[in-house]
Amino acid sequence: MMRIAVIGECMVEMAPVDGGLYRMGFAGDTFNTAWHLRRLLDEQHQINYVTAIGDDATSTRMRDFIAASGIGVDHVQRLPGASPGLYLIGQEQGDRVFSYWRSHSAARRLADDEAALARALEGAALVYLSGITLAILTPEARVRLWAVIAASGARVCFDPNIRPRLWDSAEQCRDVLSDAAARSWCVLPSFGDEQALFGDDTPEATLARYRQAGAEVVVVKDAENPVLMDVAGHRCQVAPPMLAGGVVDATGAGDAFNAGWIAAYLSGQDPQAAAHQANAHAAKVLRVAGALLTS
């Protein structure tokens, strides 16, 4: 059995429904990927979510939802007096907009207890985390997190998932993400975000930069353009499928792509086949509202 530890923040999602009301759900970049991994991998792969939540009723509902999704919750820390972060989805000129309340999220303390974190990663073959995971932690907590990951011996799969508002400065963001790439086996960047932060001219420049940083595998997503990959020096690209009917909602499509690629690659498919599966899975998410496939 392969153990996969997914580290990050699951949030309360308030999504609009008819009548001006809101429906409460749970989502978040790394959790979305864990949710899709559980559906794409067989039971020989154990998916555990590593985070911190509060001891309030909403945190209990979140933990129950994670468990009901088939994802391990043994290492979801419960912090007395804390609560999860929340985001609300709105509409502005026909587009979805997001408002966040996460500055006091319990997940910001997921790496405060080094011993608990070490137990969570014990026996893990793969650790998945994102730039958002790193952004919500203090510098000291990031040091603890990387020390525990290194001690575990697990390979790291990392999505930079750049969110400038979560960082003190662009320089800090660049430094932390570059350091993370140097510690990672696989990096899964999105070209548009990388171009804005690092000034990359092309997806090839993004790929080269992360390969130079030390990542063995780099998979560059580029919206409707071909996926560009380099796996241990072997480069290829795969065009996405035509999306009949257009995009309903792009939320979580990158998270679904990551899960599709990781699941296919871990199942023994070659990089091109893995990218085809990842594109197909992301396309399913693009056709529905929300980050998860509920049917």
List of residues 6+ apart from 55 with CB closer than 8 A: 78, 79, 80, 81, 82
Phi, psi of 112 (to 5 degrees): -75, -35
Q: From the candidates 18, 112, 255, 270, which is the catalytic residue?
A: 255
Task: Show the tokens assigned to 119.
Answer: 């137990």
Q: CA 33, CA 253: separation in Å to the nearest integer?
A: 10
Q: CA 79, CA 133: separation in Å to the nearest integer?
A: 18
Task: Show the tokens assigned to 132.
Answer: 């958002």
255 an active-site residue?
yes
Give the active site residues.
255
